[in-house]
Amino acid sequence: MTPSSSAGLQRTALVTGATNGIGKVTALELARRGYRVLFTARDETKGQRILAELRAESSNDALELFVGDLSSMAEVRRIALEVRTRHPKLDVLVNNVGGVFAERKITVDGFEYTFALNHLSYFLLTNLLMEPLRASGNARVVSVSSSGNRMARMRWDDLEFSSSKSGWAAYPQSKLMNVLFANALARLLCGTGVTSNSLHPGVVNSGFGKNATGLNRLISRAVNVLFVATTPEKGAETGVYLATSPEVEGVNGQYFANKKVSRANPIAYDVGSQERLWRLSEERLSWWLDPVDAGQAVAHR
């Protein structure tokens, strides 16, 4: 059955990072439910292959591919503007793209890679898509976090772990940022008809750490063996539930696990911390946040 809005039109969902793992399953399940599904991929060739697979497996031709590296803020902005141009109304945004990296890396914009991909891409894309989300009248923003958020503390004096050569340490903080962002967004959107929630998908073997080498590769393999407890199909269930279920209609500012309200890191509920992260994110992204396309955005910091 095709989902419909109050106007009787097909609902539209955007899923980031949908070429593997829970992102791919989320896109597939939304397509099977009749949504028009937009999804992002970093690689054009792989993206086209996944597009064909999703169309065939869902029997739904209403899928669209947007290609770009979401660790680049110019690419995030370009995709957001393309989505806004093609789709003035967006009913669901699933912020899913992310990763954990063994070694510290820097993006084209000069940001620490985990911070940029796992947090800044969520923040920038959602803010630039606020107009089509509000136009839906009944939209949902779903941000994929992790139970790893509970292990984090906010390093306000060094958000990008400049003192560390390892990328592992940045991951739990980025997942705490996801919940802080989702909760801050929920307060901002209260009364607009748009809701914002976050979730832990379960520990899923989705290729995290696959590019590690040496000792880091051994650590990554050990984590997969010891802690992988579910499949991508199972891991996608809570995100799909938050995106589609009438049971969570109007539910706002909650953190879910196993399709139930759960408890995140206590820091995630501190309004001062939410506002501080929001302000610091705005400061770092000021070059890219202007929703008006007054010219091609370029990397600048």
**Active site members:** 171
Q: How far is CA 16 from CA 41, 137, 141, 157, 189, in A?
A: 7, 22, 12, 29, 21
Query: Using CA atoms, how far apart are residues 171 and 173, in angstroms rounded to an integer?
Result: 5
Q: Could you tell me which of 221, 225, 229, 226 has the C-alpha nearest to residue 200?
A: 229
**Phi/psi at 131 (nearest 5 deg)?**
-65, -50
Query: Using CA atoms, how far apart are residues 214 and 208, in angstroms rounded to an integer?
Result: 15
Q: How far is CA 270 from CA 58, 74, 252, 274, 289, in A?
A: 41, 31, 16, 6, 25
